[in-house]
Structure formats: C-alpha cells, structure tokens
Amino acid sequence: MIDKTPHIMNPYIYYNKLDSNKEIQGKFQAIDLEEATKIAANKKQMTVEDFLTVFKVEEWKKQFTLKKRGQLLTSK
C-alpha cells in the first residue's frame, strides 16, 4: 500500500566543515536529515560518504540579530 500521508518538508542547508562562518553552500527542502544529506551529495555529484567528509548538513533555522528594545536588525 502506498503511503499517502503528507510529509512536512523542512529547509536544510549544507556548508564546508572547515568554514567557521558556516557560509551556506546550498539550501533546499527535504523530509528529514537523511534525505537532505542524499540530496546535497547528489547536488555536488558525490557519494554520501565522500560528501560527509567535506560538508555538514543541518536543518536551517532563521537567526535574528536584534537591536535595542527588540527591534529587528537583520535575519539570516
């Protein structure tokens, strides 16, 4: 039987493990971390094992920088 349950897609990013600034190399939607890792490796035309030696994949969460009194300055 085919699973017709809708899956929630979450945003994921990947970046070079050696980059202390975690500059985003790619951003996309995936169901979970495992699928996100496969998608990112495919984008770089690498095996998952090789990809993970160079890059890190994680769920993307917006980060906000606040000014005084809670005013929004920037978001990433």
Q: What is the pLDDT of residue 69?
A: 58
d(CA 46, CA 57): 14
Domain count, the chain: 1
At 42-62, the pLDDT tens digits run 999 999 999 999 999 999 987
If one compares 69 and 31, the residue with the highest pLDDT of the two is: 31
Residue 34: which domain range?
10-75
pLDDT at 67: 57
Looking at the domain assignment, is residue 5 inside a domain?
no
The angle at the Cα of 61, spanning 60 to 63, to the nearest 5 degrees, equals 130
Question: What digits encode the pLDDT tens for the residues 6-21?
Answer: 778 999 999 999 999 9
In a domain, 67, yes or no: yes
Q: Is residue 55 part of a domain?
A: yes
Residue 1 placed within a domain? no
